[in-house]
A and B are shown apart, each in its own frame.
Chain A
Amino acid sequence: MTDLTLNGIPVIDTFAEAFDVAGTAIVITNDTAKWAMIAAVTMTGFATSVIGCGAEAGIDCELSPDETPDGRPGVRVLLFGFEPNGLKDQLLKRVGQCILTCPGTACYAGVDGPTKIKLGGAIRYFGDGFAVAKRLTDPVTGKARRYWRIPVMDGEFLCEDFVRAVDGAVGGGNLLFLGRKHADTLKVAEIAVEAARAVPGAILPFPGGIVRSGSKVGARTKGMMASTNDAYCPTLKGRAGTELSAEVGVVLEIVIDALTSDAVAQSMRAALHAATEAGAAHGLVAVTAGNYGGNLGRHHYHLKNLLSKEPGSSEAGAA
């Protein structure tokens, strides 16, 4: 592989392999930003990996009262699944258990797209026949939106009738930071996460946006779909197949899901630049990306295409 550098940090000439996923966005509002965030954090819990959790979810951004349908503070949440049906199942469970239950919260569609997912129209059954629908004109778009009003013990839970899943959502953009010490590498990863999250429409679903247990497909144990990425485990250095040099003591990964492929590329670019800018001061050895040989995912984000600060003509494509 060719040697690349950015801000003096070696960047391995490889690519991140990512997948087409079903994605949607919802807007959660509450009387206070604090309670909107509580609802959003609760809903996006246990949503790090679509394989183990059924969905990958995260907080896209906080919204001011001017940006929400009801004029209250809000949070936009992104949710991704393998396909729309699985996404719907997870959406219903998470809204039903985490948003419906949260005091003062309301829930709206957060993105337009071709696939309808019934939300309020399904959750209304909690209202035991007392729920009512209301169609009101959105003063911003001039289009009618239908809401369900479900009686609950603090008044009503208001939920939009349906949300939409987008075409072109991508899951699995990633970067691996190869460092010397845990604390330093964690700091680099945190800086990268902050930069990656600043891109609208992109989330990092793992704890704090960072994953330490990168995986490979399959395992030596029968029946395991995935197992530890032994090539990047520092305690397994020196064995055949390791990708780590002697100086690497820790590897941390960030994983990016977004509503568009462009957002994944932008998010990875922002993270790569931020990490390498901070890297020298924190003992960053190199940056690389994870892939499966290019055979599983349609979207390949080559790190060499992310070295410039401005987007190029084509950042993701088949290898």
Chain B
Amino acid sequence: MSTLTLRQEPPERLDLLHVNPLSLRGLSEAEAARLPVGTSRHGLTLGDCFTLALDGSEDLVIEGGSSRLDRVGASLSGGRIRVVGDVGQRLGAGMQSGSVVVTGSAGPFAGSGATGGTITVEGDAGDHAGGAVYAAKAGLDGATLVIHGSAGDYLGDRMRRGLILVGRAGAHAGARMIAGTIAATSLGDHPGYGMRRGTILTGAVGALAPSFVETGTHDLVFLRLLARSLRPLSPTHADLAAGALKRYSGDLATLGKGELWVAAA
């Protein structure tokens, strides 16, 4: 297991796009220490900020997180990263496979454009978790994003594929959703605003957009499959899927093939 230990709070935002188990595997500690991670004219390197202990394995631990650590696990194509602490924006963005675990909280745009693998945030996530960055075609795109705490607004904005599991999320979860699945214990106002397809499952919800219509309660085979697929990740969400649910169809202002399942009172 390779370890990067943060010496102190970084003086500027750090871009860790190229700091992952696969890219570090072929480097000596001296070579890795020279990797540029700074985002200003000061030219900070990995060695300036972290103490390195590399062994070439597929497991990388980043000890001592910071909300200034951006793009942790971004474009990851294998291996495992564990961050003990917080991370900044775009956690696991564009990730293809492997796993990233953050014991603290994550900034905005976690999992944006990730096509595979699993991203776990044990704390909270910022706005646009699993959402699309500006001008991007899609947010989460096939990966699994698990947020144990709460997420901000616009969770899964324009997500196209994959699964987001979250405790509580803010307003406009699943906005402009193309497809995929969001499961939450509660959501804020206007979930699924402008969604075309996809499934949102929640225990409670704020105000609904008027372009969602209730279709009643249904005992669908799909819900059984959903509950079974959720159970290994979260028995709470699986129980939610297996319980009594009301279905809303929407957003009828767009394609209208999405659905919102809300626990029946």
Residues of A within 8 A of B (CB): 29, 69-72, 106, 130, 132-139, 147, 149, 155-156, 158
Contacts and interface: CB of A to CB of B under 8 A. Distances in A.
Given A72-B221, A137-B144, 6 more contacts: A69-B225, A70-B221, A132-B197, A139-B228, A147-B222, A158-B220
Chain A binding surface SS class: strand
A35 to B, nearest CB: 13
Contacts of B257: 130, 132
Nearest to B197: A132
A133 B229 CA distance: 16
Most A-side CB within 10 Å, residue of B144, B220, B231:
B220
B219 A155 contact: yes
Contacts of A147: 222, 225
Contacts of A155: 218-220
Interface of B: 144, 161, 163, 179, 181, 197, 199, 218-222, 224-226, 228-229, 231-232, 257
Contacts of A70: 221, 224-225, 228
A82 B144 CA distance: 41
Contacts of A149: 220, 222
Given A130-B257, A132-B257, A134-B199, A139 B231 contact: yes
Nearest to B233: A137
A135 B231 CA distance: 16
Contacts of B161: 135
A180 to B, nearest CB: 52
Contact of B225 (A130, A132, A133, A158): A158
B229 A71 contact: no
A249 B219 CA distance: 56
Contact of A156 (B199, B221, B231, B232): B221
Contact of B224 (A71, A133, A134): A71
A286 B199 CA distance: 63
Given A130-B257, A135-B161, A139-B231, A156 B220 contact: yes
A127 B218 CA distance: 18
Contact of A71 (B220, B228, B232): B228
B252 to A, nearest CB: 13
A147 B229 CA distance: 13
8 closest A-B pairs by CB: A136-B229, A158-B221, A70-B224, A106-B221, A137-B229, A70-B221, A156-B220, A139-B228
Contact of A158 (B181, B222, B232): B222
A136 B220 contact: no
Contacts of B144: 137
B108 to A, nearest CB: 26
Contacts of B224: 70-72
Contacts of A134: 181, 199, 222, 225
A139 B229 contact: yes
A156 B222 CA distance: 8
